Amino acid sequence: MSKQWYMLTIVGEDRRGIVARVTDALFNGGCNLGEASMMRLGGSFTIMLMVELERSGSELQKLLQPVARSLNLHIHVDSIEGRLHRHREPDVSITVYGADRAGIVARVTGVLAEAGLHILELESDVGGSSENPIYVMHIEGHAGEGIEALRSAMELIECDGIEVNLQPVDTMVG
């Protein structure tokens, strides 16, 4: 079998050593690691990791069985067409915040998608107090129809009492 990339998704209750033990098992199983996003979300630890190896997805799953069992992790494997060096540069960075309420993400991303936004990365968090939670979201993306289209769209969102900061991203190459 030739080398194949997989997207490995792992979720489990957060504890020290998850990354070390998972990546050690992958290394010992002859895997090559690619791009990844790993973070603690609400007490769970989450991993999205590109893994390359010369074996099937079910063998990758088997390789991780011992560590998954001992750390109580849920593991999911998808075979992907993706590969490395396919970065797409963001040209806009958007921060959104406001009192947390149902529908903010759908409203904001709906309006921005309509105005040409292609989201490359999105991170969001809920802060404030339990009684008065605030929602904070940061997006990096590509403005398919230009920055001005997004600026106009922002006004629609801001009418709803949500604060939106939009900054063009101009990458300096030196």
Partner 1 sequence: MAALEILIYPDQRLKQISQPVQQFDGELRSFVVELEQTMRSSPGGVGIAAPQVGCFQRIVIVDLSAKPKIASHGRMVLINPEILSWEGMVKGREGCMSVPDFTGNVMRAERITLGALNENGEPQEYICEGFEARAVQHEIDHLDGLLFLDRLVSRRTDLFRRKNYGSRKTA
- Encoded tokens for 66: 């011992």
Exposure string of 35-53, with b = 16+ CB inside 10 Å and e = fewer, is eeeeeeeeeebbbebbbeb
Cβ closest to partner 1, residue 37 vs residue 65: 37
Out of 59, 114, 123, 145, point to the residue binding partner 1 (CB under 8 A).
Answer: 123
Site string for partner 1, 55-94 (x = CB under 8 A): ------------------------------x-x-xx--x-
Q: Check binding of 13 to partner 1 (CB under 8 A).
A: no
Reduce the DSSP state of residue 89 to 3 states and report it: coil
Distance between CA 12 and CA 47 in Å, rounded?
9
Minimum distance from CB of 115 to partner 1 (Å)?
Answer: 15
Out of 55, 107, 138, 142, point to the residue binding partner 1 (CB under 8 A).
Answer: 138
Minimum distance from CB of 68 to partner 1 (Å)?
Answer: 27
Distance between CA 151 and CA 132 in Å, rounded?
28
> What does DSSP say about strands 92-99 and 32-41: parallel, antiparallel, or unpaired?
unpaired
| Cβ atoms 123, 137 nearer than 8 A | yes
Reduce the DSSP state of residue 14 to 3 states and report it: coil
Q: How many CA atoms lie within 13 A of 9 on its CB side?
A: 5
Minimum distance from CB of 31 to partner 1 (Å)?
Answer: 21
| Cβ atoms 11, 68 nearer than 8 A | no
Of 6-14, 69-77, 127-135, 161-169, the window that binds partner 1 (rule: CB under 8 A) is 161-169
Minimum distance from CB of 30 to partner 1 (Å)?
Answer: 23
Q: Check binding of 173 to partner 1 (CB under 8 A).
A: yes
Binding site for partner 1 (CB under 8 A): 85, 87, 89-90, 93, 95, 121, 123, 138, 148, 151, 165-167, 169-174
